[in-house]
Chain A
């Protein structure tokens, strides 16, 4: 296959120009929301925000599973670790604090925490040790299907799962219904939709009359999807459009869906700093009680909570920040009780969270006006050619 470029900066500039024109056509500020931490990561990594037009407000919604994993769920993992179980989990979760510290804190006090890249590694770990290995399972349906797959393939007796998996479609309903929300369209997560299929958004669009565009994660994917979404807003055309057809189909990955629902069932639960989300949490079905850490162990949260502070979480306004109706400055906790080292809400937890960025840089610095290095300088002669010798636009995305 030819080196097909989804990171072509030339096309990216053309798409950014198209985005500016489409936003200009609307003639007012447009607020869109993505519900995917990886979209925020990609937007940040490639510096796309500085390429968005001023009137386009791309809000980071509740799409980062690390951020929205509720404190009591982390507490369960910490309690199990303190009770002597070996906790295996994805690196993302290790430093996120619950009400009584994070897994990293527990590790500092002697608990055994293993960071894994794949749930399959956690199963391997259980095979190599006589100890109880509990996989603290976080992530959305994309990640949950992998947990389901290892359970269906058979796990050793000392392996169990503490599921904090989340299911993304229900939260979009909640955000769309938040009073005062300015969100006029959603960018849906391409990798989650790879599993669920884009058809799942059709009832949502019918109910809320808001357009949904499924987007991939390369710069061109994100820019093109935003152009499409702004056009749908401009044309008042609520519809689902799949702009990631290389990975997403209407019906999705049926094999993975089947496995997901064989192992998990959706139940309601709190998402950190947002709300109670009906059907937003994935728990193991009854027939998998034997591998469910919640049923295998008595999790002693009481001892953990003895000294826990009265819940600051009630004052947290992350939900409003994510809905685009408040800024960190409006929050009584921001910068005081809620700081990057001891975050209260979702927006301070993530490295790309709105509050975290505000805290680090005193607001969101406007980088649109910054000159490109070396460009338009008279003295580039000396290093000009040399500069580009090593120039590489990152690995060319093979597909």
Chain B
């Protein structure tokens, strides 16, 4: 429902920040962000407002959650199967 785009904060100027989205820069307002933002942080942008500072450790948590899920979902018996599946796919790409 809400197009949210993550981007990298380049500079902060009081209540706004310049944010880089894949090489596209736009000034984003900081009124709504939940914690202080500094250059080098990632933020989630929606309609020109940062609505979340994205802590790097939370990105890691998300990725680990997915790895965990894969491990659990596949179970011991299936593990080899998935590993070979991933290997096959790697060679395909």
Q: Contacts A1-B56, A18-B73 given: A121-B48 contact, CB under 8 Å?
A: yes
Q: Please determine whether A118 and B47 come into contact, CB atoms closer than 8 angstroms.
A: yes
| Residue in contact with B49 in the complex, picked from A41, A118, A168, CB distance below 8 Å | A118
Chain A positions 200 through 239: 1 when the CB is less than 8 Å from some CB of chain B, otherwise 0: 0000000000000000110011001001100100000000
In this complex, which of B31, B33, B70, B86 has the most chain A Cβ atoms within 10 angstroms of its Cβ?
Answer: B31
Q: Please determine whether A142 and B65 come into contact, CB atoms closer than 8 angstroms.
A: no
A119 to B47, CA, bound (A): 7
Q: Please determine whether A149 and B69 come into contact, CB atoms closer than 8 angstroms.
A: no
A247 to B62, CA, bound (A): 9
**Given the complex, which residues of B lie within 8 Å of A259, measured CB to CB?**
31-32
Q: Please determine whether B42 and A255 come into contact, CB atoms closer than 8 angstroms.
A: no
**Given the complex, which residues of B lie within 8 Å of A221, measured CB to CB?**
62
| Residue in contact with B59 in the complex, picked from A117, A227, A399, CB distance below 8 Å | A399
Q: Could you count the A-B residue pairs with CB atoms below 8 Å apart for me: how many are there?
A: 160
A41 to B54, CA, bound (A): 23
Size of A's binding interface in residues, CB under 8 A = 66
B64 to chain A, nearest CB (A): 10
**Given the complex, which residues of B lie within 8 Å of A78, measured CB to CB?**
none
Q: What's the interface size class on B, roughly?
A: 35 or more
**Given the complex, which residues of A lie within 8 Å of B55, measured CB to CB?**
246
Interface residue A270 (Cβ < 8 Å from any Cβ of B): no
Q: Please determine whether A17 and B85 come into contact, CB atoms closer than 8 angstroms.
A: yes
Q: Please determine whether B3 and A398 come into contact, CB atoms closer than 8 angstroms.
A: no
A190 to B63, CA, bound (A): 16
Q: Please determine whether B69 and A247 come into contact, CB atoms closer than 8 angstroms.
A: no
* Nearest CB in chain A to that of B58: its residue: A246
Q: Please determine whether B89 and A10 come into contact, CB atoms closer than 8 angstroms.
A: yes
Chain A positions 305 through 337: 1 when the CB is less than 8 Å from some CB of chain B, otherwise 0: 000000000000000000000000000000000
A28 to chain B, nearest CB (A): 19
Interface residue A36 (Cβ < 8 Å from any Cβ of B): yes
B17 to chain A, nearest CB (A): 13
B69 to chain A, nearest CB (A): 6
Q: Please determine whether A228 and B51 come into contact, CB atoms closer than 8 angstroms.
A: no
14 A-B pairs whose Cβ atoms sit less than 8 Å apart in the complex: A15-B66, A36-B1, A41-B3, A117-B47, A118-B47, A120-B29, A139-B47, A143-B47, A191-B2, A220-B66, A227-B73, A246-B55, A247-B54, A254-B34
Using CB atoms and an 8 Å cutoff, list the residues of chain B in contact with chain A: 1-4, 6-8, 22, 29, 31-34, 42, 44, 46-49, 51-52, 54-56, 58-59, 61-63, 65-66, 69-70, 73-74, 78, 82, 85-86, 89-90, 93
Top-10 shortest CB links A-B = A118-B48, A18-B73, A142-B2, A395-B22, A149-B31, A191-B2, A246-B58, A191-B4, A253-B34, A37-B1
Known interface pairs A231-B73, A259-B31; 17 further A-B residue pairs with C-beta atoms within 8 A, sorted by A's residue number = A11-B70, A15-B66, A21-B73, A21-B78, A22-B73, A38-B2, A117-B48, A118-B48, A119-B47, A121-B48, A145-B32, A146-B32, A146-B48, A189-B2, A192-B2, A228-B69, A255-B34
